[in-house]
């Protein structure tokens, strides 16, 4: 039998969700069966799978040590070099500037040098996170950027902060996210765009529709023109929903593709910017986060804005086109 004491980084979550992370190699049906058959108890009593854990609770696992160890995925610190910048940090929240070209999370092609692994190594070196002292918690991001999009990523440094940040992201009007981009064409004014987005998993591309189609997800994008030279326009974009390739596909569907965008852009235009500026990806940067509202222990962030400057290459293009 193994006994686990619930601390501040494990509280306020359902026991089945906690166990899915703690026994990450076990099937969900196995976890439910063990709870149902009283092989897993809380404070010596049977609980339902939706029981909310409280700090100080004691979970008893009436399983062999070999079984438990076989279901636990060992967590280690990846030895990666840090190449992100810190925009803001306190004991709860870390805002980092992700450079273009760096994945936020691991995928089938890259399982080591990612932003999250760099952040984990950074916090480990600061002695603010140690996977050996945590049962399930891992610092994580609440927003994500495409590999070739740079800018601000929000990280929760403890479980309470992570839960609050995720709730604020879900509420949509609490954390406002702004991007800078340059599109082909003369785009004027301010406009809210709504539609539906359908992703093709095989091609990793999306299509935008004006009307609802099966399996499509609603998208909501706002743009504001900043400056135009008649052929290209610098715009600020706010995303209300955060879908895959939303900004790129939504603007391209209107006839205003992002420069440098190999999936949704204009091939001829992209070649010009690659030859002249060595631009090999879309001109898109997550430059501003505004905490319009905040709650609970993160209330102190309310009303605050944080900014990320354009990378040198993108700034050079902006200056060349609009000065």
Q: Which residue has the tokens 């976890």?
A: 31
Q: What is the pLDDT of residue 172?
A: 82
Q: In CATH, what number is assigned to the domain containing residue 221?
A: 3.30.2350.10
d(CA 308, CA 320): 20
Contact 165, 107 (CB under 8 A): no
| 52 domain-assigned | yes
Query: In this structure, are 187 and 105 located in the same domain?
Result: no
Query: In this structure, are 8 and 95 located in the same domain?
Result: no
Query: In this structure, are 252 and 275 located in the same domain?
Result: yes
Query: In this structure, are 246 and 142 located in the same domain?
Result: no
Q: In sequence order, what are the residues at sequence separation of 6 or more whose Cβ sits closer than 8 angstroms to the Cβ of residue 34?
A: 40, 61, 63
Three-state DSSP at 250 gives helix
- Length of the chain, in residues: 323
Q: What is the pLDDT of residue 112?
A: 84
Containing domain of residue 140, as a range?
85-171
Contact 183, 256 (CB under 8 A): yes
Query: In this structure, are 188 and 268 located in the same domain?
Result: yes
| 80 domain-assigned | no
Instruction: Give the total number of structural domains in the chain.
Output: 3
d(CA 123, CA 82): 11
Could you tell me the pTM of the whole model?
0.89
Cα of 87 vs its chain's centroid, Å: 16
d(CA 63, CA 44): 14
Query: In this structure, are 186 and 233 located in the same domain?
Result: yes
User: Helices 28-36 and 15-22 sit at what angle, rounded to 10 degrees?
Assistant: 130
d(CA 262, CA 282): 7
Where a domain ends, among 43, 71, 99?
71
Per annotation, catalytic residue among 146, 200, 261, 275: 146
Is 125 annotated as catalytic?
A: no
Intervals of the chain under pLDDT 50: none
**Strands annotated E in 165-257:** 175-184, 190-200, 205-209, 217-228, 232-239
Query: In this structure, are 141 and 194 located in the same domain?
Result: no
| 79 domain-assigned | no
Q: In CATH, what number is assigned to the domain containing residue 37?
A: 3.10.290.10
Query: In this structure, are 11 and 139 located in the same domain?
Result: no
Angle in degrees, CA 76, 116, 180, rounded to 5: 175
Contact 301, 174 (CB under 8 A): no
Q: What is the pLDDT of residue 276?
A: 96
């Amino acid at each position: 039998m193994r006994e686990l004491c619930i601390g501040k980084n494990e509280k306020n979550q359902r026991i089945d969700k906690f166990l899915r992370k703690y026994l990450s190699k076990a099937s969900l049906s196995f976890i439910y069966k063990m709870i149902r058959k009283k092989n897993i108890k809380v404070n010596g009593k049977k609980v339902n799978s939706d029981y909310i854990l409280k700090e100080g609770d004691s979970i008893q696992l009436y399983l062999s040590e070999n079984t438990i160890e076989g279901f636990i995925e060992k967590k280690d610190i990846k030895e990666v070099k840090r190449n992100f910048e810190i925009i803001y940090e306190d004991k709860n929240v870390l805002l980092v500037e992700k450079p273009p070209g760096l994945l936020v999370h691991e995928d089938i092609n890259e399982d080591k040098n990612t932003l999250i692994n760099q952040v984990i190594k950074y916090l480990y070196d600061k002695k603010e996170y140690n996977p050996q002292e945590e049962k399930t918690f891992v610092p994580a991001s609440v927003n994500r950027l495409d590999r070739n999009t740079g800018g601000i990523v929000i990280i929760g440094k403890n479980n309470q902060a992570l839960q609050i940040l995720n709730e604020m992201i879900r509420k949509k009007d609490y954390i406002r996210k702004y991007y800078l981009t340059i599109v082909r064409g003369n785009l004027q004014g301010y406009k809210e765009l709504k539609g539906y987005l359908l992703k093709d998993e095989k091609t990793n591309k999306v299509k935008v529709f004006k009307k609802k189609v099966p399996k499509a997800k609603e998208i909501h994008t706002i743009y504001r023109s900043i400056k135009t030279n008649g052929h290209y326009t610098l715009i600020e974009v706010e995303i209300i929903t955060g879908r895959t390739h939303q900004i790129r596909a939504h603007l391209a569907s209107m006839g205003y593709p992002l420069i440098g965008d190999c999936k949704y852009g204009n091939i001829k235009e992209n070649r010009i910017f690659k030859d002249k500026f060595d631009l090999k990806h879309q001109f898109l940067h997550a430059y501003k986060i505004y905490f319009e509202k905040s709650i609970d222990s993160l209330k102190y962030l309310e009303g605050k804005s944080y900014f990320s400057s354009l990378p040198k290459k993108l700034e050079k293009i902006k200056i060349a086109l609009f000065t």
